[in-house]
Amino acid sequence: MQNKLRVLRAEKKWSQAELADRLGVSRQAVNAVETGRHDPSLTLAFSIADVFEKTIEDIFEPSSPP
């Protein structure tokens, strides 16, 4: 899954640790989602959308088929 998390975080001038604190997760969890190594749970995806005041669809999009 592709996402715009890094761009949105940079626009707010938040570090991964700051975003993690706002979401109640570890910095490593934010890094894993941001780099695409881990897809967030639905609960975390909604939390991310709430923090950035966006819809899930504005932040996440499915990866292109191989």
Give residue-wise pLDDT tens across range 12-52.
Answer: 999 999 999 999 999 999 999 999 999 999 999 999 999 99
Q: Which long-range contacts (CB under 8 A, 24 or more apart) does 39-47 make?
A: 39/1, 47/23
Instruction: Report whether 10 contacts 45 (CB < 8 A).
Output: no
Q: What is the pLDDT of residue 56?
A: 96
Alpha-carbon torsion (34, 18, 12, 47), positive or negative? positive
Would you tell me which CATH number, out of the four given (1.10.260.40, 3.40.630.30, 3.40.50.300, 1.10.3720.10), belongs to the domain 2-53? 1.10.260.40
Domain residue limits, the chain: 2-53
What pTM, to 2 d.p., does this model score? 0.89
Helices 16-23 and 27-34: angle between axes, nearest 10 degrees? 110
